[in-house]
Amino acid sequence: MLVARFPEESKTFIGIDETIEPHDQSQFEDLLHSLNPPGLPPYKLTLKQKCPIILLRNLNPSDGLCNGTRLTCCDFKSHVISANISVGHLKNTHVFVPRIPLLASQDEKMPILFKRTQFPVRLCFAMTINKAQGQTLDFVGVYLREPVFSHGQLYVAFSRAKSSNCVKVLIRPTIPGSEDDHYTDNIVYKEIIEKATL
């Protein structure tokens, strides 16, 4: 795990999982701890000072605490994380992130509706192209295991860095043995371009 490379001592924060229906609590407790649905922090969150994290909820947008904001841990107590904003016009602003109850999204993949009380963050050594949208970064590494699947995604990925010299791309060979095997598809909806030129 990348967090192990940080020299500081780690601290693990254990969440509190509660079913919405109280009579289900004892029956599903172990199952809830094992679930890691998107948009929720892990039940066991291990952090170290100076490790990068990403915010999973809008806490206070006017202070820069929005879903997708990248932070750097400064310190942590049992109920609050002290951190600095890592990017954007509020870069280096000192903020506090409290432990809060978070409701899991209900869908067919989630066997039971529950809430998890935990810091609304995850470790963030990498992020999806969609999460990176709107951010400006010093260096960008783009891993394209598969080609992008939506109009404009490749542009978003490549334009996050201040300079094209600061972008590195890893693409899996598409035709094994071919000399021209380092390319990917750029999805462009021609209808959008045609309508924009009218």
CB 42 within 8 A of CB 36: yes
Instruction: Return the domain boundaries, the chain.
Output: 2-123, 129-196
pLDDT tens digit sequence for 103-146: 887 776 776 788 999 999 999 988 888 888 888 888 899 988 88
Q: How far apart are CA 148 and CA 158, in angstroms?
A: 12
pLDDT tens digit sequence for 166-187: 999 888 766 666 666 667 777 7
What pLDDT, on a 0 to 100 scale, did the predictor assign at position 76?
Answer: 92
pTM given for the model:
0.75
CA 79 to chain centre: 21
Average pLDDT, the chain: 86
